[in-house]
Structure 1
Amino acid sequence: CRRPGSRSPRSPRAFPQELQQQYSPSRWARRLRGDAAVQAHIEAVTRARASTRTALHVPYGEGDGERLDLYLPEEPSDTFPAFVYIHGGYWQSLSKDASGFAALALVARGIAVVAVGYDTAPKGSTCCAVPSHICSWLLLFRGIYLCGHSAGAHLAAMVLCTDWTEFGVVPDIRGAVLVSGVYDLEPILHTYVNDALNMSREVAQRNSPMLCVTQAVPAACEVLVAVAQHDSPEFRRQSQEYSQALRSAGWAVSLLDLASVDHFDIIEKLSEDTYILTQVRSPCSSKLLIAKMK
């Protein structure tokens, strides 16, 4: 999907040392610093995991990490709308096991929550491409609302780049919520993050959603790009430029700049009914993705 010979929309101006800081979200957290911020994030989402009807560790591929956790409404149905969540962790940490935090609010409304696991680096190569079987199981659901956080937002954005002709059918993705994501991988090459990923520049460019934006088709879903006030300037830049790239290609996209949150609690708060992202991600109306922003 990369345009041959294309470059990132803006070459990083920061020196490598500054990039290390810009792409270390815990250094920008307002509540806690360093590893303590990461641990608080893990504990928050783990506490919020719902006590609901579940189907855990459902395989969708051959990799050890390629499993789904499903949180299902009590009333049986073959047509659950599905909130599909892809976790972050720079493609090398975290897991689906701490990704059930959104289930409390949604399952009560008759919405299934699907927490996606994937093989992480150095064992997995998810950052280099979205495996075809991740795309394949999306075809099983009707009324999909796709959500990704950080590296998970990158993977969700890559799903939007997928050429579905090889599958013979297009999944029913009605909306995408991309939260504090990475859409241009080239700056990552110059940081500690790439130690485990070992990406080349060519791989980074080929798998940067910023360079994979296609012209919107009539069936293209609505997209909400959300970023935290206390995300780093680089994370904020990436969200702003990616949303603009989508808009320029004809996508229905909104950029939501959330005040008083950082890279971690911007996603933790999805467990709260009154949180603005909890409202806009509700699949009860496809128009909520845009209408709540106006």
Structure 2
Amino acid sequence: MSSKWLQAFTLAFAAFLAACSPIKVLNALTPSSTFTKTSSVAYGDDPRQKLDIYRPANASPNAPVVVFFYGGSWNSGSKDDYGFVGEALASRGIVVVIADYRLYPQVRYPLFLQDGAQAVAWTYQHSAEYGGDPRKLYVMGHSSGAYNAAMLALDARWLNEANLSPSMLKGWIGLAGPYDFLPIENPDVKPVFFFPHSPPDSQPINHVSAGAPPSLLIASSSDTLVNPTRNTGGLANALRAAGVPVEEFYFGKTNHQTLVAAISKPLRWLAPVLDRVVDFIQATDSADSGARQSPTT
């Protein structure tokens, strides 16, 4: 296929996605031969406290593990919609856990963070049963899910409640996350954080410290929902000032929604999001291995 035909096809496909249910289309086009899936494992007592595990079909021993949290303004979303994320990372040899969590109006801040911490604790305790190495554990999210990942990685309260610590994370990955968003402007989000009395401790940027795990922050430079300069750029600067290793990328062909969709096989032409995530995981794993070996070499 010529480059002009390929470009025309991909633009038409993107328009098709915009006109129908994008997530259903992406999942329908997602390969199923790269993983085995274990569905709806309970990590708590509530019906929303369930997770799916994607085990790579050809996993190496002691594979890295990613716990992924989806977005939806803390009032919508389902793990069943993000099979394309599980497949993409599993196809690169990563064990993936995609967790549901309680949403507004059932709960408000910070109870969904407690759910996230419980999901991470379950993963830490059980990932070896699925070929993963709990010593290579990452949290990752998109949009409000990136906020959840950031808070688990930066604010020790939540993992401490689950008898863990952010120090046991190898790193965390945020896609188009809101990390510094007070005062709240989005009407869907205001009641989640008790607007106008939103607590300052709800903001990830207020929890940056020198002990934070290595970070990968990715955003769309044309994001009109979550300001990338204030949120991704501001948090990256704060992490660097604290001496935390951080990588920061912006992609122009994406928007807030298609940034995560670019992980899927049909839309990887939009931006190398999957490659950057995998590179980050491989680099942090190699750096840590080198640090462990250095005293004896």
| TM-score interval for Structure 1 and Structure 2 normalised by the shorter chain | 0.7 to 0.9
Q: Secondary structure at the match of 1:281?
A: helix
Higher relative contact order (CA 8 A, sep 6+): 1
> How many angstroms apart in 2 are the aligned matches of 1:46 and 1:232?
25
Question: Deviations 1:240-281 (Å, cap 9, x if unpaired)?
Answer: 111111111221112211111111111101123674221121
Contact 1:281 1:288 in 2 (8 A): no
Q: Secondary structure at the match of 2:218?
A: strand
The structure carrying a bigger helix percent of its residues is: 2
Change (3 A) 1:238 1:75: closer
Q: CA deviation at 1:137?
A: 2.4
Contact 2:109 2:193 in 1 (8 A): no
Of 180, 184, 190 in structure 1, the residue corresponding to residue 180 of structure 2 is 184
Question: Deviations 1:60-117 (Å, cap 9, x if unpaired)?
Answer: 1222211111111235777332122110000001111111212333323332111111
Match of 1:277 in 2: 273
For the pair 1:47 / 2:28, whether they are aligned, the reply is yes
What code does the residue aligned with 2:41 have? V
For the pair 1:223 / 2:219, whether they are aligned, the reply is no
Match of 2:118 in 1: 133
Instruction: Tell me the number of residue pairs that the alignment of Structure 1 and Structure 2 aligns.
Output: 252
Match of 2:169 in 1: 173
Of 235, 244, 248 in structure 2, the residue corresponding to residue 242 of structure 1 is 235
Q: Secondary structure at the match of 2:27?
A: helix
> How many angstroms apart in 1 are the aligned matches of 2:45 and 2:18?
33
Contact 1:45 1:98 in 2 (8 A): no
Cα RMSD after superposing both structures: 3.0
Change (3 A) 1:162 1:223: same
Q: TM-score, normalised by structure 2?
A: 0.73
What code does the residue aligned with 2:277 have? R
Contact 1:41 1:265 in 2 (8 A): no
Contact 2:178 2:226 in 1 (8 A): no
Match of 2:88 in 1: 105
Of 224, 249, 253 in structure 2, the residue corresponding to residue 232 of structure 1 is 224
Q: CA deviation at 1:221?
A: 2.6
Match of 1:197 in 2: 192
Q: Secondary structure at the match of 1:247?
A: helix
Q: Secondary structure at the match of 1:90?
A: coil
Contact 1:128 1:207 in 2 (8 A): no
Contact 1:145 1:281 in 2 (8 A): no
Match of 1:68 in 2: 51
Match of 1:286 in 2: 284
For the pair 1:123 / 2:121, whether they are aligned, the reply is no
> How many angstroms apart in 2 are the aligned matches of 1:203 and 1:230?
27
Contact 2:103 2:112 in 1 (8 A): no
> How many angstroms apart in 2 are the aligned matches of 1:240 and 1:178?
12
Moved more, 129-138 or 60-69: 129-138
Dislocated runs of 4+, deviation >4 Å: 36-40, 75-78, 126-129, 168-171
> How many angstroms apart in 2 are the aligned matches of 1:271 and 1:191?
28
Change (3 A) 1:169 1:252: closer
Contact 2:210 2:243 in 1 (8 A): yes
> How many angstroms apart in 1 are the aligned matches of 2:197 and 2:37?
41
Change (3 A) 1:277 1:229: same
Match of 1:267 in 2: 260
Q: TM-score, normalised by structure 1?
A: 0.74
Change (3 A) 1:231 1:169: closer
